[in-house]
Structure 1
Amino acid sequence: MLSHLTRVLLLVSTLASACTAEDWPRWRGPRGDGTWNGPQLQDVWPDEGLKTRWKTAIGAGYAGVTAVGERVYVMDRRTEPVEVERVVCFAAETGKPLWSHSYAVKYGDLDHGTGPRAAVTFSQDRLYCLGALGHLHCLDARTGDVLWKKHLVDDLGGRLPQWGFSASPVLFKDRLYVQPGGANGTAAMALDPRTGAELWRSLSDKAGYGTPIVIAHRNQHQLVWWTPSHIRGLDPADGKPLWNVPYEVTYGVSIATPIFQEGIVFVAGYWHGSRAIRLGERRTDAELTWEDTKLLRGLMSQPLYRDGHVYLLDKARGLTCFELATGKKLWDDGNRMTPRGRNPQASLVWTGREDRVLVLNSEGELILARLNSKGYDERARTKIIGSTWAHPAYAGRHVFARSDTALVCVELPVAGKATMPPQ
């Protein structure tokens, strides 16, 4: 039998593990790649579902949730009494509104004009927030006070894309990267995150919808930028183009954030499928290594990578696994994970155990599944919110999810959840 001291130490260890789970400070999590070092979760969930810690009303939007420390941040749009976009801060423990910042907007005939698309980016007690029409604000994360603001069209010379600005602001070292788009060298831009001053501008492509990534290849950094017409590599310091692979995307929907693994940049398009680009010895070396136009066609859902394999929500066949190096398809789930539809959507995140993934599908169902090269093994599923395309945030022992009407905090079923040991 375990001694009393041993049981107490196990209790402390369990609590410490849960409390040190990572925050969710930006789009796709701590590293921007859909991985979260959260607590190990139970494989069997209660029949009655998971406990909702709190639920609060918000406005509409597709913007993902950001959760850091004791606070949760989200963007939305309200139309009454006047039309505004908002950045709203809530207490993570209770859902109590702490502050909000709003500004007037006129969506007009903006396609899918529900609300903001981009997730709030948190860094050093500052928030970088981008609205659908191009309003960019740097706010004090504690108070919501405006530190500086810019407009991607009016101030930076960008061009509003058909479905609105969607790429979340990206921070790297002393640069804030935004995607105004436009024909005057404004497709990619770096700003000073402290002041909003322009540092450089580059390219003349239209604005895409996917968030760029910063990669390290052969001990040098590159900025990977996927526009509606090209997949490009830029120097993060000055915006100098390094390499370019043409890829014309129908309707300009370059949406999913690229993946970089094994020296390969991977992007997934809806109508014309996937592209894999291998980077070479020099920073300017890049070549198309394979493409697939029939079996690997993703849209909004972010693909996941692990151990040489990519997991992608294909528009027709559901969750699909393939080899990154070759594009060889290994399996699909036959649309089990999320319903087949015109625009299938699910947010996938690696968590806890090595092969476990948390999924929030478009029906508002939270799913725990085991993923590997052999198949999709669903362990648990429960509904936590209404229909949604927005990416949730995971922090501590909770998931924060939003729809067009509500923001919820739901307790995750932690494995070996601590109870006081018997005396």
Structure 2
Amino acid sequence: MSDGQLQTFPDTTASPAPSQLRLWPALVILGAWGLTQIWSLVGEPFPLKFFLTMLVSPAVAMVLLLVWWLFASRVRWNDRLLIAGTFVLVAMITVLVAGKNFPALALVLFAVPMVAVLWVGWLLLTYWLPWSVRKTGLILIFVVTGVYFSLLRVDGMDGNFKSTFNWRWIPTQEEKLLSELRSADPTPQNPEPNEAMELKVTDGDWPAFRGPHRDSRLTGTHIRTDWDTAPPKELWRHRIGPGWSSFSVIGSHLFTQEQRGGDELVMCYDTNTGKAIWEHRDATRFEEIVAGPGPRGTPTFHEGRLYAQGANGVLNCLDAATGKLFWSADIVKDSGATVPQWGFSSSPFICHGLVSVFAGGPDGKSVVAYHIENGDLAWTGGEGLQSYSSTQSAIMDEVEQLLISTNAGICALDPDTGKTLWAHHWPVEQARIAQPAILTSTDLLVGTGMSEGTRRLHVQKDGDQWKISELWTARVFKPYFNDFVVAGDDLYGFDGNIFMCIGLSDGKLKWRARGYGNGQVLLVAADNLLLILTEQGEVALVEAKPDHHKEVSRFKAIEGKTWNHPVIAHGKLFVRNAEEIACFELPLQESAPVSSPSAASD
């Protein structure tokens, strides 16, 4: 360099030339990811589609973007490392700060797609700005996005995997309940458990999950349908801890399960007032991102005792009148199973002095049964590692048996020994949830959500062997976590968020209707009516007729996402979700007297 001549250096603040910043691979990556999102909107959701579009595709897209940025963006190496390092650092800090309010899985679902779009979009739209500004903008995008998601809380998803968000400092419904309980008047206001009371099942009771016969069928009660002039009368409502249990009702005693902080509770409420009569606590908590915290199964009443299984596998036997613990068993320990992804959801079933539940253990330990008197393990049996269904009784071709529906198919077990009598292999990737339906002494229905449909099986005993034949399979009807009911020659139930009627003779669709979300249904057999509790907490009456869909009445019952099965007992309608519980007196036809709940429990 000669004297007086200034040395010049490259302008590091200038925007990279078009040949330097290669953006088109990033646009291709985002375009491919966008196609997966379009696919997610086509048709009904199912677990594999959800897994691929909501979890795998954004994660893969982000990995590819990082690969593009580091090896194909043509940006200077120090900037490549700075941006990639900032992204990784902010992501790690966000995971730590967000914690359980916004778990890592939820960040993949929601934060990663937002960052990917903002990253590429910022570079695409700011081509005219100096590179220093564009680089600083990327860093701010990462930081601001991380702070934003660190301040949020995901409060679960609905049946179509749409999420609910709140700021993390806003109390959850469970926290509001706990706060109210802490500040409540310490003077007992609740009914006292009656040590001398002997509870027995009488007409009008609802002693187990989906009723006396576990088929969501109400008999002997006639409901008026003119709710505009004679609406259901609200008797009481209050907050309740989260959980997806339904109810058992014996006289004036209402049993359910819920979560309160670190304790899982079996609760007994007074049907007339909603006041707690007794509670039983286990120091355990189950929680997952979709449904949230709380137990899933429904307590079962049998001969003065109450049997309840929690989401982590604790099976309790309690005095139904007082809540006193007789015995407790650990499903996980006795079966070698692991806690399922969505928690143990089986509602205990009593048969021949044994209580059975699904466990999902290996090596023939799919179902476990205990002696009801002392909780000693009686037998294990069956195959299938995944199920959110419950055991139920059936008499097929004059032989009593226990049915269980799992990811392996459906099998029948000897209720005394657990030995497999017969099995129909129909493997699926996801677990089955809906209960099988008994149609005749030889025919039954097995439903599979979101993929394979519903199958009618013919079961017949031939000497010492069982012959199982498939009559039809209807892929138009795919019950997932919504149980269906049978009325006459037809079934009524949910295929995703579509309510429909299917003929039992051939599995053909007769009609379908929207407007109920992913709800639950109960058959009022005496009036040929369907009582539907919608996912939005509304109660609707629909005619159970195969030739048309006709809704005759509807009212708003509770707030919040509602997946719990409704119950009608002694003229009262009981509904709940993870936020509140309510009781309504139904308008009944005068020709249908209702037994007195209080008298039934004496």
Sort the TM-score into its range (normalised by shorter chain).
0.7 to 0.9
Of 522, 543, 554 in structure 2, the residue corresponding to residue 370 of structure 1 is 543
Answer whether contact 1:61 1:114 (CA < 8 A) is retained: yes
Deviates more, 1:238-247 or 1:152-161: 152-161
Distance 1:410 1:217 in 2: 38
For the pair 1:392 / 2:572, whether they are aligned, the reply is: no
CA–CA distance in structure 1, aligned partners of residues 592 and 467 of structure 2 = 52
Counterpart of 2:484 (choices 303, 308, 319) is 303
CA contact (8 A) 1:150 1:196 kept: yes
CA distance in 2, matches of 1:194, 1:331: 48
| 1:48 to 1:222, Cα distance in 2 relative to 1, 3 A | closer
Alignment of 1:171-210 (within 5 A): 171-210=350-389
In the alignment, the residues of structure 2 paired with residue 218 and residue 418 of structure 1 have an alpha-carbon distance, to the nearest angstrom, of 36
Does 2:432 match 1:258? Answer: no
Unaligned runs of 5+ in 1: 1-19
The answer as to whether partners of 1:117 and 1:131 remain within 8 angstroms in 2 is yes
Aligned to 2:508: 328
Residues 187-231 of structure 1: CA deviation (Å, up to 9, x unaligned): 012211111111111134203101122111222112111111221
Cα deviation, 1:82-139, whole Å, max 9, x if unaligned, reads: x110011111111111111111114365763321110010111100001111011000
CA contact (8 A) 1:308 1:325 kept: yes
Q: Which letter does structure 2 place at the counterpart of 1:145?
A: K
Partner AA of 1:228 in structure 2: N
Counterpart of 1:352 (choices 526, 535, 549) is 526
Q: Is contact 1:127-1:140 (8 Å) kept?
A: yes
Counterpart residue number, 1:146: 325
Aligned pairs, number: 387
**Pairing partner for 1:89 from 268, 275, 283:** 268
Question: AA paired with 1:312?
Answer: G
> 2:237–2:580: 8 Å Cα contact kept in structure 1?
yes
Q: Is the deviation greater in 183-192 or in 278-287?
A: 278-287
> TM-score normalised to the size of structure 2?
0.62
Question: Where does structure 2 lack aligned partners over 5 or more consecutive residues?
Answer: 1-201, 594-602
* Map 1:74-113 → 2, pairs under 5 A: 74-79=256-261, 83-107=262-286, 112-113=291-292
C-alpha distance in 2, partners of 1:310/1:108? 33
| Deviation of the 1:290 alpha carbon | 1.6
User: Following the alignment from structure 2 to structure 1, what is the Cα–Cα distance between the partners of residues 360 and 592?
Assistant: 51
Per-residue deviation, residues 11-59 of structure 1 (Å, max 9, x unmatched)? xxxxxxxxx8611111001111111124211121136943210112220
In the alignment, the residues of structure 1 paired with residue 287 and residue 298 of structure 2 have an alpha-carbon distance, to the nearest angstrom, of 22
Deviations 1:308-361 (A, max 9, x none): 211121126x2222222321222222x14x13xxxx2223233432x1222211
SS in 1 for 2:583: strand
> Aligned in 2, Cα 1:324/1:58: closer, same or farther, shift over 3 Å?
same
Query: Which structure has the highest strand share of the two?
Result: 1
Task: Report if aligned partners of 1:358, 1:367 keep a CA contact under 8 Å in 2.
Answer: yes
1:286 and 2:468 aligned: yes
Q: Which amino acid aligns with 2:434?
A: A
State whether residues 190 and 198 of structure 1, in contact with CA within 8 Å, keep that contact through their aligned partners in structure 2: yes
Within-5 A mapping of 1:112-131: 112-131=291-310
Letter matched to residue 454 of structure 2: S
Tell me which amino acid in the other structure corresponds to 1:182: G
Residues 264 and 283, structure 2, Cα contact 8 Å, conserved in 1:
yes
Deviations 1:361-416, CA, capped at 9 Å, x for gaps = 11111112211221222111111112310112211110111121222111101123
Separation in structure 1 between the aligned mates of residue 287 and residue 590 of structure 2, nearest angstrom: 51
2:223 aligns to what SS in structure 1?
coil
Tell me what 2:338 maps to. 159
Matches within 5 A, 1:60-71: 60-71=242-253
Larger helix percent? 2
Q: 1:117 to 1:192 in 2, by over 3 A?
A: same
Distance 1:140 1:372 in 2: 42
Structure 2 residue aligned with 1:53: 235
- 1:272 match: 452
Say which of 300, 306, 311 aligns to 1:132: 311
Letter in 2 for 1:303: F
User: 1:245 maps to what in 2?
Assistant: 424
Aligned residue type for 2:521: S
Residue 544 of structure 2: SS of its match in structure 1? Answer: strand
C-alpha separation between the residues in 2 aligned to 1:368 and 1:290?
30
Distance 1:40-1:257 versus aligned 2 partners, 3 A rule = same
SS in structure 1 of the partner of residue 272 of structure 2: coil
Q: Please give the TM-score of this superposition, normalised by the length of structure 1.
A: 0.86
Judge conservation of contact 1:301–1:345 (CA < 8 Å) in 2: yes
| Contact 1:22-1:30 within 8 A present in 2 as well | no
Q: Which residue, 575, 578, 585 being the options, matches 1:401?
A: 575
Structure 1: distance between partners of 2:398 and 2:285: 45
